[in-house]
Amino acid sequence: MEGFFTKQQVQSADRPDGRTYSCASCGLYKDAQNPRMQAFGNFKKGILNIGEAPSEVDDKRGKQWQGRSGRVLQQTYKKFGVDLFEDCLNINAVNCRSTNDKGGDTAPGDYEVACCRKRVMNVIEKRQPKVIILHGGSAVQSVIGHRWKKKLGGISKWRGWTIPDRGIGVWACPTFHPSYIERVDAEEVNTIWHQDLNRAFSMTGVPFPDFPEEGKQVTIVQEQNEVLGVLKKLNQGTISPDPPFMAFDIETTGLKPHDTKNHRIVCTAFCDSPNHVYVVPELRRKSHKKALKELLENPEIGKIAANMKFEDTWENVINGITVNNWVWDTMQAGHVLDNRPGITGLKFQAYVNFGVVDYDSEIEKYLHGDPKNANSVNKIMELVSTEEGLRKVMTYCGLDALFEYKLAIKQMEQMNVTN
């Protein structure tokens, strides 16, 4: 049974898993010379640097970036005309020194980061930086980790993106921690780091985008009588731009469709512009299937998907449709643009490009079947058995198609592909 509230409504930003994250439970303050180190810097260019934790020297002096890695950072910033303490505000993911058994500096754990998160978030909220540079994995964990419900992954995955993070209303730019640059001392890493920083600094001049509320751009067509009209309208080419593109996305009962007795396409979303998407339920009438076939086989309309082999196979096996004129797969394009592992998925791309985190969390658990059997049936039918559940699935499907469309257009621009 669906409850009264959405998952987002009952999540706590303050205490994500209900536990108390406090200085008392962290305990690092007890051994620090300068516990709960305050943010420092004159912040003239609106840049907020978030580091890992105070080093021994930082702790002694009561200020961030006083040690060797701080010097590296200061010198590097200077090359870009940025003064670390005049132009920036500085804070750490954990603001008390974290030590190992021998009394040396050590990276804080996720728990310590969680305990200090409120302090970091308060600084972001009160000072409203233009750009946040996240130096290293702890900083990413601090600012993004609690909202990113999937596996966070390492800094290599996150570095280099300039994320328009809607949750905090700031450009979030992760990169390596200067101590890593100093430690590996490799030219290629140093070059990448410089590129990341340059990109981050350039964002100080870019206003934060005014994003629309995508949920309102999803039109759910539940009345069977209206479905035909929508499919025909899409097929008859009110679609822009020229040449017309259409992203489409399906929600299904599993990964592979070949067990046709048990598998179904639960809903399909069609996005023909960056600000509108239609979602239709499972098509059962012959006339609907015919219209769908005409639309998907229409050679005039370029098809877009994320992982197009999925949509292609399901349409082929379930509806007997051979999708014509595939023009873009955001997953493949994502890989061509950046070949790091773990970055081509739509959810990651939607976050790093459009700042949206976690729009799938209410649905995601229903999408998994038996992990050892790719032909197994997932739990989506359980969800769509209620009106509210069906609405959630269709909205999610619509958002997928919408982000696929927007992402494809952005990728085409990045790759200088117009036709």
Examine residue 13 and tell whether it contacts another protein (CB under 8 A). Answer: yes
Minimum CB–partner distance for residue 400 and another protein (Å): 24
126 binds another protein (CB under 8 A): no
The residue type at 115:
C
12: contact with another protein by CB under 8 A: yes
Name residue 84's amino acid: L
User: Is 22 or 75 the residue whose CB approaches another protein more closely?
Assistant: 22
Instruction: Answer yes or no whether residue 207 interacts with another protein by CB under 8 A.
Output: no
Nearer to another protein by Cβ, of 24 and 374: the residue is 24
- Bridge partners of 269, per DSSP, are 249, 279
14 binds another protein, rule: CB under 8 A: yes
- Residue 9 CB, shortest distance to another protein, in Å, is 4
- Complex with another protein: residue 16 or 153, whichever CB lies closer: 16
10 lies in the site for another protein, by CB under 8 A:
yes
The nearer residue to another protein, 79 or 379, going by C-beta atoms, is 379
Q: Is 13 exposed, middle or buried (0-12, 13-18, 19+ CB in 10 A)?
A: exposed
User: In this chain, which stretch among 2-10, 202-210, 242-250, 339-347 interacts with another protein, using CB under 8 A?
Assistant: 2-10
Residue 388 as a binder of another protein (CB under 8 A): the answer is no
Q: Which one of the spans 9-17, 52-60, 333-341, 406-414 is the region binding another protein (CB under 8 A)? A: 9-17
Residues of span 19-58 touching another protein by CB under 8 A: 19-20, 22-25, 27, 29-30
Per CB under 8 A, the list member of 17, 101, 210, 213 interacting with another protein is: 17
Smallest separation, CB 250 to another protein (Å)? 28
Q: Which stretch binds another protein (CB under 8 A): 1-9, 88-96, 268-276, 333-341?
A: 1-9
Q: Nearest approach, Cβ of 99 to another protein (angstroms)?
A: 17
Minimum CB distance to another protein smaller for 14 or for 226: 14
C-alpha–C-alpha distance, residues 322 and 133, integer Å: 46
Asked whether position 125 contacts another protein by CB under 8 A, the answer is no
Which of the stretches 15-23, 79-87, 210-218, 350-358 binds another protein when contact is defined by CB under 8 A?
15-23
Does 1 engage in binding with another protein (CB under 8 A)? yes
Q: Does 361 participate in binding another protein (rule CB under 8 A)?
A: no
18 counts as binding another protein under rule CB under 8 A: yes
In order of 158, 303, 334, 337, the CA distances from 415 in angstroms are 21, 18, 10, 8
- 163-165, strands of its sheet edge to edge: 88-92, 47-51, 131-135, 170-175, 163-165
Q: Which residues bind another protein (CB under 8 A)?
A: 1, 3-5, 7, 9-20, 22-25, 27, 29-30
